[in-house]
């Protein structure tokens, strides 16, 4: 695995300066970050010179009713206009047509014993994840020979990326940010339009499609959707780069399912990795590791879509509430102590 | 002898020339249709590549003094807040104005507004501009583009800091439908010539309206449409789409999301360019076939929004008809028509 910055492909201009608030200031006095200006941003295939809204062919589907909200029991849009994706809120007919040319990359880490989860993950992904669209699975592993051969449908491929492992599971988890960041620069920018970064010890149990795609999205952690912000398990020590004060916070996002356009994911993973490096130099590790840093990032760089807990659930730990009409991506039962040893 | 032959030859050539001339004039008039070059679009405008600035990603938002969003809340039935393709529908209560201000203010945006005030419609400019100065995009740089056949009739309205107005002379046509269908062409031409350099976002509004409540950055988006106040509660079969198959604006009974109003649309300037250009080409095609759509531009706008779905939709708060009683679900009317005698205005 390569370390350090690599040469960027033409057409992607990356500012190497970091947002000031990540470097030791805890008063949130932020110098506005400089923009990334690349033609790939916004994920809508905008090229220099013309700006195309995706055109859809004539289709037949049920009409939306202005006076009848589709879901009256849940919030479907954040105060900054990011849709919160629940069942019933979107029409796949239209969205599939809008995203028909999109290529989606799915990153998953199967380090050490976690390779055992790959088969079920990939099999269920073939059934439920972005069916009908071009998908590339990027499997990061230290055991390439243990990657199972799962038959893939048309337009889908699997790429094995050999990486090093770490002895502590916390380090394995946290270094995902670094690895995704490096590989984004090296290849993802060229190969896919969107990146989806997911945990491997899970399975798909219902449709997960292009309704999730947008420049930057996070998923609501299933344990905290009811909880007041003061009780979110954010990092609360000001010495950490992931520190969030008690009176701040929109949602508690899960570290196991986030994504967006390659450019935005690159920015997020780079920022999180750099923040973790600073923390390590200061002898501190955030309470929930990469998830803490993800939450800090998404508080100050608001996602353009938020996925409801339908998109990440644990049936063993949580009782299913009535408003959860579907369970799409769920935890696979595992013996934590044994698998992380 | 030679002189006479020369004279005869010259005379013959002259006669031949005149005969050819008359023949040409006869043929010219005999042809069933004549080519009117004015309708042809200028090639360079349509080939012009606009500098794409890119959708600016969200800046780090430092301001956090707002209530936590409540995920589970039994809400009284209100308006739909998301289209089936996940575009927000903007209405009061769906957004936090201060939070949006903190997101958009640092981007140093310039918002453009086009209005057409031709013939007697110049009388509306004053009210429009005065109300815009009170309610439209407060705190942002704004550029008004007033298209008129009578620049002298544009009143001097005092404008706030960072806000300016330019008057663009255009031709007045004899029929009001003609004036209306020219707007798409004029807007796309103007963007290509000027506006793409001057503004980030552009709104195209009708002039015979006034702002009554704040209209702010909640309306900004890639491509923005507004729901027509007369048809938001009506099934799609009753939308006044163009229903003749021969028109390029044709929409079938089984199609349609919302009926959008022609009085309000906008978005990022490059997207508005593509949109108005597309509408103009469709209008030209209809013109070549001798057809004018049922609601002129609005029909073409609706046809185009069906295949190029807006990324943000404004509720009827942003395009209201004052002749209608305000329903309780619409909490705040922000932009509405002035009651007027349309018959007289269009004469």
Nearest to B84 among A44, A64, A73 (CB): A64
The mean pLDDT of chain A is: 84
B104-346, superfamily in CATH?
Spore Coat Polysaccharide Biosynthesis Protein SpsA; Chain A (3.90.550.10)
Summarize pLDDT for A176-192 with one digit per residue, the tens.
999 999 998 889 999 99
- Interatomic CA distance for residues B78 and B89, integer angstroms: 12
Residues of chain B with Cβ-Cβ distance to A37 below 8 Å are 53-54
Please spell the DSSP secondary structure of B46-94, one letter per residue.
HHPPBPP--PPPPPPP----SPPP-SB---------B-TT--BEE-TTS
Predicted local confidence at residue A339, as pLDDT: 78
pLDDT digits (tens, 9 = 90+) for B295-338: 989 999 999 999 999 999 999 999 999 888 888 888 899 999 87
* Test mutation, B69, B70, B78, B223, chain A, max A CBs within 10 A: B69
Inter-axis angle of helices A290-300 and A262-281, nearest 10: 120
B9-23, B94-108, B138-152, B181-195: the lowest-pLDDT one: B9-23
Which residues have C-beta within 8 Å of that of residue A184, sequence separation ≥ 6? A195, A262, A265, A266, A269
Residue B227, pLDDT above cutoff 90: yes
Rounded CA separation A134/A127 (Å): 14
Determine the pLDDT at residue B60. 59
Instruction: Give the model's pLDDT for residue B148.
Output: 94
* B13-56: pLDDT as tens digits: 899 988 887 887 776 665 444 333 333 333 333 334 444 344 44
pTM of the predicted structure, to 2 decimals:
0.82
Nearest to A68 among B54, B56, B80 (CB): B80
pLDDT band with cut points at 50, 70 and 90 for residue B340: low
User: For A252-288, what is each residue's pLDDT tens digit?
Assistant: 999 999 999 999 999 999 999 999 999 999 999 999 9
Question: Tens digit of pLDDT for each residue in A285-315?
Answer: 999 999 999 999 999 999 999 999 999 999 9
* Res. A149: pLDDT tops 80: yes
CA distance B118 to chain A (A): 31
What DSSP string runs through A128-196? HBSTTSEEEEEEEES-GGGS------TTEEEEEEE----SSHHHHHHHHHHHHHHHIIIIIHHH-SEEE
> Which domains are present in chain A?
84-340 (3.90.550.10)
Higher-pLDDT residue of A35, B253? B253
Contact flag A248-B80 (C-beta cutoff 8 Å) = no
Annotated binding-site residue? B321: yes
pLDDT of residue B238: 94
Determine the average pLDDT of the residues in B127-132.
96
pLDDT for A242 beyond 50? yes
Residue B181 is predicted with a pLDDT of 74
Residue B19 Cα, gap to closest chain A Cα (Å): 52
Q: A53–B274: do the CB atoms touch at under 8 Å? A: yes
pLDDT at residue A141 is higher than 90: yes
The mean of the pLDDT values for chain B is: 85
CA distance, residue B298 to nearest chain A CA (Å)? 19
Q: Is A242 annotated as a binding residue?
A: no
Query: Among all residues of A, which ones are annotated catalytic?
Result: 291
Given a cut of 50, whether residue A7 has pLDDT beyond it is no
First to last CA, chain A: 24
| Mean of pLDDT values over A82-109 | 95
How many beta-carbon contacts under 8 Å exist across A and B? 207
Nearest one of A83, A58, A94 to B85, comparing CA atoms: A94
**pLDDT for A216-238, tens place per residue?**
999 999 999 999 999 999 999 99
More confident residue, A29 or A301: A301
| B272: pLDDT strictly greater than 70 | yes
Inspect the interface and report whether the beta carbons of B62 and A30 lie closer than 8 Å: yes
Nearest residue of A to residue B228 by CA position?
Answer: A66
Contact assessment for residue A52 and residue B274, using Cβ atoms and an 8 Å cutoff: yes
Higher pLDDT, B58 or A32: B58
Told to judge if B298 belongs to the known catalytic residues of this protein, a careful annotator would answer yes
Report pLDDT for B30. Answer: 53
Q: In what order do the strands lie in the sheet with B223-227?
A: B89-90, B312-314, B223-227, B260-268, B201-205, B110-116, B141-148, B163-169
Percent of chain A with pLDDT over 90: 71
């Amino acid at each position: 695995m390569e370390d350090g910055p690599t040469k960027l492909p033409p057409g992607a201009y990356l500012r190497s300066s970091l947002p000031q608030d990540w470097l030791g200031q805890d008063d949130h006095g932020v110098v506005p970050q400089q923009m990334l200006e690349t033609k790939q941003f916004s994920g809508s295939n905008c090229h220099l010179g013309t700006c195309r809204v995706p055109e859809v062919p004539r289709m037949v589907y049920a009409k939306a009713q202005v006076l009848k909200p589709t879901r009256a029991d849940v919030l479907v849009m954040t105060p900054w206009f990011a849709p919160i994706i629940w069942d019933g809120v979107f029409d796949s007919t239209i969205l599939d047509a809008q995203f028909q040319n999109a290529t989606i990359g799915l990153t998953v880490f199967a380090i050490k014993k976690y390779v055992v989860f790959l088969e079920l993950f990939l099999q269920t992904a073939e059934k439920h994840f972005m069916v009908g669209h071009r998908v590339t699975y990027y499997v990061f592993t230290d055991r390439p020979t243990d990657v199972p051969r799962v038959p893939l449908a048309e337009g889908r491929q699997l790429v094995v990326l050999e990486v090093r492992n770490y002895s502590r599971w916390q380090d394995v988890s946290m270094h995902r940010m670094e690895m995704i960041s490096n590989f984004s620069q090296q290849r993802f920018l060229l190969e896919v339009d969107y990146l989806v970064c997911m945990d491997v010890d899970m399975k798909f149990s219902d449709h997960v499609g292009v309704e999730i795609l947008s420049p930057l999205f996070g998923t609501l952690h299933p344990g905290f959707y009811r909880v007041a912000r003061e009780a979110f398990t954010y990092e609360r020590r000001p010495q950490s780069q992931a520190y969030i004060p008690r009176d701040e916070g929109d949602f508690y996002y899960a570290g196991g399912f986030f994504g967006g356009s390659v450019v935005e994911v690159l920015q997020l993973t780079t920022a999180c990795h750099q923040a973790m490096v600073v923390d390590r130099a200061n002898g501190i590790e955030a309470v929930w590791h990469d998830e803490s840093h993800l939450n800090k990032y998404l508080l100050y760089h608001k996602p353009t879509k938020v996925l409801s807990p339908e998109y990440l659930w644990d049936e063993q730990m949580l009782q299913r509430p009535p408003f959860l009409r579907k369970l799409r991506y769920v935890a696979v039962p595992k013996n934590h102590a044994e698998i992380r040893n | 002898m030679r002189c006479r032959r020369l004279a005869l030859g010259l005379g013959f050539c002259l006669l031949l020339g005149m005969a050819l001339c008359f023949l040409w004039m006869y043929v010219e008039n005999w042809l069933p249709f004549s080519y009117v070059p004015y309708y042809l679009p200028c090639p360079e405008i349509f080939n012009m590549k606009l500098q794409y600035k890119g959708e600016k990603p969200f800046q780090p938002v430092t301001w956090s003094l707002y209530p936590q969003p409540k995920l589970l809340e039994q809400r009284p039935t209100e308006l739909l807040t998301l289209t089936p393709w996940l575009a927000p529908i903007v209405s009061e209560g769906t957004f936090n104005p201060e939070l949006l201000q903190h997101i958009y203010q640092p981007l140093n945006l310039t918002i453009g507004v086009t209005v057409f005030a031709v013939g007697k419609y110049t009388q509306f400019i004053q009210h429009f501009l005065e109300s815009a100065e009170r309610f439209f995009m407060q705190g942002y740089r704004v550029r008004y583009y007033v298209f008129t056949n009578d620049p002298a009739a544009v009143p001097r309205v005092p404008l706030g800091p960072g806000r300016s107005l330019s008057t663009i002379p255009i031709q007045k046509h004899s029929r009001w439908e003609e004036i209306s269908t020219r707007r798409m062409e004029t807007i796309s031409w103007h963007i290509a010539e000027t506006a793409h350099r001057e503004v980030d976002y552009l709104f195209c509004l009708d002039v015979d309206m006034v702002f009554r409540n704040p209209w702010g950055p909640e309306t900004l988006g890639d491509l923005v449409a507004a729901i027509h106040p007369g048809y938001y509660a009506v099934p799609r079969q009753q939308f006044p789409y163009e229903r003749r198959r021969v028109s390029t604006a044709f929409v079938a009974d089984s199609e349609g999301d919302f009926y959008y109003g022609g009085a309000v649309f906008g978005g990022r300037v490059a997207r508005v360019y593509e949109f108005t250009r597309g509408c103009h080409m469709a209008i030209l095609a209809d013109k070549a076939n001798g057809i004018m759509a049922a609601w002129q531009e609005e029909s073409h706008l609706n046809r185009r929004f069906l295949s190029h779905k807006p990324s943000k939709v404004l509720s009827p708060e942003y395009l209201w008809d004052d002749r209608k009683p305000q329903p309780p679900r619409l909490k705040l009317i922000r932009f509405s028509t002035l009651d007027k005698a349309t018959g007289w205005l269009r004469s």
